[in-house]
Amino acid sequence: MTQPTAKIAVFGDIMIDSYWMGSTERISPESPVPVVNVNHTENRLGGAANVALNISKMNVDVTLCGLVGIDKNAADLMTLCQENQIATDFIAEASFPTIVKLRVISRQQHIVRCDFEEKPQLTESLKNRIITQAKAIIDQHDLIILSDYNKGFLTDPQALIQYARSQGKIVIIDPKGSDFSKYRGASLITPNTSEFEGVVGKCPDETTLFAQAEALRDQLQLDALLVTRSEKGMTLFEENKESVTFSAKAQDVFDVTGAGDTVIAMIATQLAKGTPLPEACKIANVAASIVVGKMGASYVTQEELDYALGQSDRPHNLVLSKEALLHEVKRAKMNKETIVMTNGCFDLLHRGHVKYLEEASKLGHHLIVALNSDASVKRLKGETRPIMDEVSRATVLASLSSVAWVTIFDEDTPESLIKAVLPDVLVKGSDYQVNEIAGAQAVIDHGGRVELIDFIDGYSTTNAIEKIKASLQTEASKA
């Protein structure tokens, strides 16, 4: 029976990220600043709410708790959460205006950011409300995130940490400030390099950083410490274990806003699904490489993550089942990559085959070779064929740099497989007519095309077999 996914609660500083976007054609006559003609406005979930959004997009149950005002911005936050399947348990305070960060953007560049915020006045009464409400939420969830943006809600997080840990809950914290002692006893904290060095001092080399990290983890009685290190990736320090560094993934960085939110959200969702912490950090590292390529606070979809993980983990050439092949094709099409497909027996691979496959591969990004199984070859060519078994034939084909994926089919023709893949380009030899090619019409109907490639004269498997037979007969007659 499948283990149910744990439920996650996010506590922290909640805000709206507001974007005003437009064109810039002139400089203001009043002062030397650009004039932005705003033509689009958009509100997004920010701060701790962006953490909850990233969790929700991974199809994990999440509840968001934080301080908001009694104002239109709080109502807008509630609507955005409802639209994104985030349960809310806000603490509304009339004296506290909901935080808004307004970014004015033109031509994909930030022109200015305006913050509308006030530190909350945490009276004893308000503190008690927060702790009482938070404890009730903690009781109903398995994993707790504290998303601290240093806006006042998590000024004293110890009450929440101690209560959650006493109830056997995992507590993960995205920290802020120069005093990390307030996070003592957490399961994991995830500072970036700047935040980390703000606490332990400058680390001029890895030896110093690693020593300081181990000392800080021990001092704060943390189960683990993850330092996110920008282009150097991330390094995980766990109690009684060797540190692990996850290399940064090559990616054009468009905007680092919200990258830390994605990291902590992804770690939490993976732990909620039962993934070990090192593997969860590895996945979070890949997710962060995706989100920095987007504008502003954003999130990663499951499809984007699956594709990126597949790209980072898979070898170049693979022999795949039909199901695995279709998964790879889906990933490639998401990335707008062209799929080319051909088929055949490819018994006794020769120069003609290699040249044919090289030409086919030039028609797109990925060439699929659909290979007749042994049983299929026997039905088509007789009991003496194939010469090489299907595993050997597939392995040799997969070793060619021109071939991305090989899959074996058992039918007489690959028509059903081609209909499932629906490649952009279907390739066959020029000895065929288009109307004779299995699956051709399905490809054309789907907007693809069929290409016919000439074979090199004088090369065929049948001829090669006949030469081998003649050679053997000659040798036998001499014996």
Q: Is the peptide bond before 175 cis (omega within 30 degrees of 0)?
A: no
Check the annotation: does 376 bind a ligand: no
Which of 142, 261, 347, 424 is flagged as catalytic?
Answer: 261
**Three-state SS sequence of 291-344:** HCCCCCCCCCCHHHHHHHHHHHHCCCCEEECHHHHHHHHHHHHHCCCCEEEEEE
The 10 Å CB-count burial string (b at 16+, else e) for 40-65 is eeebbbbbbbbbbbbbbbbebbbbbb
Check the annotation: does 207 bind a ligand: no
Give the span between the Cα atoms of 98 and 106, in whole angstroms.
26
- Residues 6+ away with beta carbon under 8 Å from 384: none
Residue 261 known to be catalytic: yes
Helix (H) or strand (E) holding 80: helix 72-83
Helix (H) or strand (E) holding 8: strand 8-12
How is residue 18 written in tokens? Answer: 């507001």
Is the four-CA dihedral 9, 146, 16, 227 of positive or negative sign? negative
Give the span between the Cα atoms of 213 and 215, in whole angstroms.
5
Give the span between the Cα atoms of 204 and 32, in whole angstroms.
40
Check the annotation: does 5 bind a ligand: no
Check the annotation: does 193 bind a ligand: yes
How is residue 139 written in tokens? Answer: 């009781």
Query: Annotated active-site positions, please?
Result: 261
Binding-site residues for ATP:
192-195
